[in-house]
């Protein structure tokens, strides 16, 4: 028998499950809108990070916090199903950090962010980072009130990830290709990866970085610095 590749595409079932999901998303949007307004009023710029597990969000964020903490008042929230490992890693940058543990939930929701921020005065911050749970599917649908959403993917994951997970790339504002120090060993095809991102999300800016080696970090810091400055200029 000759091997052939067949594809079936599942349409959304019109079930009670879909109705419940729609309701949850609507409720999330309401909270996210309120969060966005409170961020705007306080003059804090908010950046979220999404990626598959282990793509390098915490390493990238720890480096970013270390490099920015002397110029800007930075802080971070980090989501995981379990453990406070990432919060402890980020706290090494000696900036305010809080872990959100989601239990069985594969993404952060706006309400979790609101709860985690209780007790923090947003006016004390210039820039807040939110690291989402490592997952290329669930976080895509949940607005967290952020100004900028980064999608990270590492050179060891394969160039086709944007094509396989288009929604997460479509809902992001900027793509970050991580672990570029491993490109050669992984035989990473940078041009193909960039083309795949552009196919899914035409015009999306792309950064290549190595949080370990430092490559690309200064370009990223310049961009986020300019976004913070721009949001200040247009602040109420
Ligand atoms: N070589 C290399 N390794 C990296 C780099 N960034 C992260 N890593 C490694 O990749 C692994 C995962 O990194 P994390 O920063 O924990 O990834 P994450 O996306 O935060 O993971 P989750 O929060 O569990 O989803 C760790 O072993 C890191 O040391 C990099 O720039 N270069
Ligand atoms: Mg992490």
128 CA to middle of ligand 2, Å?
16
pLDDT interval class at 24 (50, 70, 90): confident
Closest ligand relative to 178 C-alpha = 1
pLDDT in tens, 55-100: 999 999 999 999 999 999 999 999 999 999 999 999 999 999 999 9
Joined tokens for residue 200: 């899914």
pLDDT of the residue at 13: 61
Cα–Cα distance between 150 and 225 in angstroms, integer? 15
pTM of the model: 0.94
140 pLDDT tier (thresholds 50, 70, 90): very high
Q: Which protein residues have their CB within 5 A of the ion that is ligand 2? A: 57-58, 86
β-bridge partners, 98: 77
The 3-state DSSP class for residue 175 equals strand
**Sheet architecture: strand order including 74-80:** 97-101, 74-80, 127-131, 45-50, 148-154, 174-178, 206-208
- Give the pLDDT confidence score for residue 20 in this predicted structure: 76
Ligand 1: distance of its center to the CA of 11 in Å?
35
Q: Is the distance from the beta carbon of residue 210 to the nearest atom of ligand 1 less than 6 Å?
A: yes
Does pLDDT of 208 surpass 70? Answer: yes
Measure 150 CA to ligand 2 centroid, in angstroms: 14
Kindly give the distance from the C-alpha atom of residue 152 to the centroid of ligand 2, in angstroms, as a whole number. Answer: 11
Give the residue, by CA position, lying nearest to ligand 1 atom 21.
Answer: 54
Ligand 1, atom 29, lies closest to the CA of 59
């Amino acid at each position: 028998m000759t091997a052939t590749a067949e594809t079936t595409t599942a349409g959304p079932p019109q079930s009670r499950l879909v109705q419940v999901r729609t309701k949850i998303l609507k409720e999330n949007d309401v909270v996210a809108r309120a969060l966005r307004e409170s961020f705007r009023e306080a003059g804090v710029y908010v950046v979220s990070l999404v990626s598959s597990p282990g793509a390098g969000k915490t390493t990238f964020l720890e480096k970013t916090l270390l490099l920015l903490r002397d110029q800007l008042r930075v802080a971070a929230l980090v989501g995981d199903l379990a453990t406070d490992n990432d919060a402890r890693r980020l706290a090494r940058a000696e900036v305010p950090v809080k872990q959100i543990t989601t239990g069985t939930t594969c993404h952060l929701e706006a309400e979790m962010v609101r709860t985690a921020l209780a007790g923090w005065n947003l006016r004390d911050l210039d820039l807040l980072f939110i690291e989402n749970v490592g997952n290329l599917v669930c976080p895509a649908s949940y607005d967290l009130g952020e100004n900028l959403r980064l999608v990270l993917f590492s050179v060891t994951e394969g160039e086709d990830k944007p094509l396989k997970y288009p929604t997460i790339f479509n809902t992001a504002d900027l793509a970050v290709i991580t672990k570029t120090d491993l490109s050669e060993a992984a035989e990473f095809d940078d041009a193909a990866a960039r083309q795949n991102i552009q196919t899914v999300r035409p015009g999306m800016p792309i950064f290549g970085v190595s949080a370990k080696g430092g490559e690309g970090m200064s370009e990223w810091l310049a961009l986020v610095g300019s976004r913070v400055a721009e949001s200040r200029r247009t602040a109420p």
